[in-house]
Amino acid sequence: MRFRSHTSITAAIAIAATTAIGGLALGTQPASAAAVLGITATSPASTLPLGGTFTSTLSITNSGDLDSAASVVTVSLPRPASGSAAATIGRVFTAAAGIVCSTYTPRYGSTQKRCALTPIAPGATRIIATYKVTSPLSIPFVGVSASYSATITAGPSASAMMTFVGSGPADLTANLVYANPQTVFSFGAVTFNGSAVNNGYSSTGAFHWTVDLPAGATSVVLNPTDALTVCTVSGTSIACDTSNVANGATLSFSGGFVAPQVGVLPISLSLDTLNTVTESNETNNQVSSTLTVLNAAVEFALSRQQVPSVDRGTVFTRSFTVTNNGDVDAQTVSLINRSVQFRFVSSSDNCHAYVTYSGRPSTAHYQGVTCLLNTVPAHTAITVAYLLTVPTTVVLGAAADVLTLSATSFQTPTSVTTLTSSTTVTNPVGGVAPTNLTLPAVTGNAVVGTSLTTTNGTWIGTATITYAAQWLRCDGAGNNCVGIAGATASSYLVTAADLNSTIRSQIAATNGAGTTNAASTATSVVIGAAAPVNTGAPTLIPGLESQPTFAWSISPGTWSGTPVISFTYQWQRCDLAGTVCNDTAGATSSVYVLQDADVFSTVRVRVTATNSGGSTIAYSNVSPEIDPLG
């Protein structure tokens, strides 16, 4: 650790003029006549032992021919950081008799003593101050030092250095960490890092150390960063010899091996096993750790809930369960249920219809269902269900299908499981009443004065199916619904009677086998229309120039109010103050090309916001003066 010092401010020393002597002109002296000041600061001949004391003497000498002028010596004293090893160094600065020194302590940097000096006669030496330094009783590392410097105005500088040496034994501290997680898979590579830090007071000298790996480990390697360290691999043990580790220094190494088998495996680091190094602490240089090695194989089990028979024109549920009995998470898991007879409807999982296309024009060929499970964790079962339809056109009899499960990442070996089965398709007596596959959907805003629209949803059943709509008024939670008289079209105009209620659409699907009703989800609670309110003023968007032929545009600003809000625009030509404005004929777009008539005027835009609650006007900012083209 070394302390920094700051150079003091310097100023020229004035040399006084005298009268003529011995034929010399008045006001002159011989060229060699001058005051020459030199400054010295003594340092110890060698390093200071722990607890040792040295007093440095700071003195100044005039080796010139004339008295020196009054001057200032600035002494920069070390100011160590709080908590550093050198913070315990004792320091005493004492000004000599007749010398007055002031103290300046900056926020950062060295403390300064500024000592005023009266003139010094030729050949005279004057002691300025003494600086007593006491070494601390304990120092973690060799080389801790304290220094100070002194500078005389318009003159030389000097510095003194005190270096302290510690004493005591070495102290090796061992560390061992895995560069990869502490869980690996059989036949997987394991890497580790180790280190030994000497936190003592002296170098270790040569010592012996070993790293022991699990029995059966292969591809054993160890690479020390210290070029003077020599290691020999013998089976699963690594023996090393290091010439020395200086106090404060670190010996680092990295190694690796291939995990031999499933289980909990030990790995250990032993330093100074022959006790060749005198240490202050002999208990902190052996480290051991364990590594858990798992089976690297995925073990899949696949089961399926199979429906033995289904009717044409119906919907049924198929489910399957994937179980990973291995120790490794199965990655990129996918499943394909190949079936040309059945069609995919929906699923709460990542499943979708498996469709291929061919021919010109392209024709869709339904091949079944594909599901992406992505990851199946080790020792975990995942169940997936989806809906299938049985079209009224499918062939009666056994409909065979195949369920194939695969996982393609980080398995040994890759797991592929296949199930083959069939479901008997029957023809229902009297047909099948409509079955809803997806609910009707309502679009639009639940606001008095706006319109809502409904879809029929999707259905399956014996052809032909017809649809009829009925709008329902429900409570705020979407329950206790009643039909709205006369509301049987596909759209509905929300009225004041619907205020604070919710709205549903109900579709009745009918065929020769019966009628089935399905209702949409409820809208939000109906609210009254609120006219637009401008919350952020419209803003002009300038073109490249404020000249004719350049296009400007308008941002409508921000607005609150009942959706949906629409905007219309009217560009206006104004005087230079922007206070007298008139509409510009035909300028009703959000973009306006400046005209010759706008020259020496300004422009602004009137924005009108409209919704079911009414209309509100807001004005944009006024443009700068429009310049002539050219």
DSSP 8-state assignment for residue 201: S
What residue ranges in 295-329 does DSSP mark as E strands?
A: 300-305, 309-311, 315-324
The most confident of 108-112, 264-268, 508-512, by mean pLDDT: 508-512
Q: Is the pLDDT of residue 22 over 70?
A: no
Between 336-345, 474-483, 607-616, the lowest mean confidence (pLDDT) is in: 336-345
Q: For 275-330, write each residue's pLDDT tens digit.
A: 788 887 778 888 888 888 777 667 777 888 878 899 888 888 888 888 888 777 78
CATH number for the domain harbouring residue 446: 2.60.40.2700
pLDDT at residue number 548: 95
Same domain as 261, residue 224: yes
Query: Torsion-angle region of residue 225: left (phi > 0), alpha (psi -120 to 50) or beta?
Result: alpha
What domain count does the chain have? 5
Same domain as 275, residue 355: no
Mean pLDDT of the chain: 84
Same domain as 402, residue 417: yes
pLDDT at residue number 560: 94
**Comparison of pLDDT for 40 and 12, the residue scoring more:** 40
Same domain as 182, residue 157: no
Q: Is the pLDDT of residue 137 over 80?
A: no
pLDDT at residue number 428: 85
Same domain as 157, residue 43: yes
626 within some domain:
no
The residue assigned the tokens 């091996």 is: 257
Average pLDDT over residues 568-573: 98
Angle at the Cα of 528 (from 530 to 472), degrees rounded to 5? 145
Return the CA Rg of the chain.
47
2 within some domain:
no
Q: What three-state secondary structure class fits 118? A: coil
Nearest to 286 by CA among 126, 173, 421, 408: 173
pLDDT at residue number 30: 46
Average pLDDT over residues 443-468: 92
pLDDT at residue number 19: 24
Same domain as 337, residue 271: no
pLDDT at residue number 59: 94
The most confident of 43-57, 115-129, 342-356, by mean pLDDT: 115-129
198 within some domain:
yes
Same domain as 414, residue 442: no
Q: Is the pLDDT of residue 338 over 80?
A: yes
Same domain as 124, residue 178: no
The tokens of 79 are what?
């100011």
Q: Is the pLDDT of residue 9 over 70?
A: no
pLDDT at residue number 586: 96
DSSP 8-state assignment for residue 475: -
6 within some domain:
no
26 within some domain:
no
Q: Is the pLDDT of residue 150 over 50?
A: yes
Cβ–Cβ under 8 Å, residues 432 and 313? yes
Instruction: Report the percentage of the chain scoring pLDDT > 70.
Output: 88
CA distance 83 to 85: 7
Instruction: Report the percentage of the chain scoring pLDDT > 90.
Output: 40
Q: Is the pLDDT of residue 87 over 70?
A: no
Same domain as 456, residue 363: no
pLDDT category, 582, cuts 50, 70, 90?
Answer: very high
Count Cβ atoms below 10 Å from residue 232 Cβ, excluding itself.
10
Q: Which residues face 572 on adjacent strands?
A: 583, 604
Q: Examine the fold and report which residue of 485, 519, 553 is the final residue of a domain before the chain moves on.
A: 519
Q: What three-state secondary structure class fits 137? A: coil
Cβ–Cβ under 8 Å, residues 8 and 158? no
Q: Is the pLDDT of residue 413 over 70?
A: no
CA distance 627 to 363: 62
The tokens of 243 are what?
């010439």
470 within some domain:
yes
31 within some domain:
no
With a CB cutoff of 8 Å and minimum separation 6, the contacts of 226 are 242, 245, 251, 252
Q: Is the pLDDT of residue 493 over 90?
A: yes
Nearest to 90 by CA among 55, 128, 46: 55
pLDDT category, 45, cuts 50, 70, 90?
Answer: confident
CATH number for the domain harbouring residue 240: 2.60.40.1530
Same domain as 507, residue 471: yes
Is 0.75 topped by the overall pTM?
no
Average pLDDT over residues 374-401: 87
Q: Is the pLDDT of residue 402 over 80?
A: yes
CA distance 191 to 368: 46
Q: Examine the fold and report which residue of 399, 425, 451 is the final residue of a domain before the chain moves on.
A: 425
Q: For 182-227, write each residue's pLDDT tens digit.
A: 777 766 788 889 999 988 777 888 899 999 988 888 899 999 988 8
* Sign of the alpha-carbon dihedral angle for 133, 135, 141, 142: positive
CA distance 469 to 181: 61
Same domain as 114, residue 153: yes
Q: Examine the fold and report which residue of 270, 294, 318 is the final residue of a domain before the chain moves on.
A: 294
Backbone phi, psi, residue 481, to 5°: -85, 145
CA distance 623 to 621: 7
Q: Is the pLDDT of residue 5 over 60?
A: no
CA distance 414 to 419: 17
CA distance 28 to 30: 7
Same domain as 148, residue 48: yes
22 within some domain:
no
Between 47-56, 91-100, 131-140, 503-512, the lowest mean confidence (pLDDT) is in: 131-140
Q: Is the pLDDT of residue 588 over 70?
A: yes
Structural domain of 503: 435-519
Q: In sequence order, what DSSP letters do the residues of 552-613 get, joined into one string?
A: EEEE--EEESSSPPEEEEEEEEE-TTS-SEEEPTT--SSEEE--GGGTTSEEEEEEEEEETT
CA distance 205 to 275: 12
CATH number for the domain harbouring residue 149: 2.60.40.1510
Q: For 219-230, write each residue's pLDDT tens digit.
A: 999 999 888 899
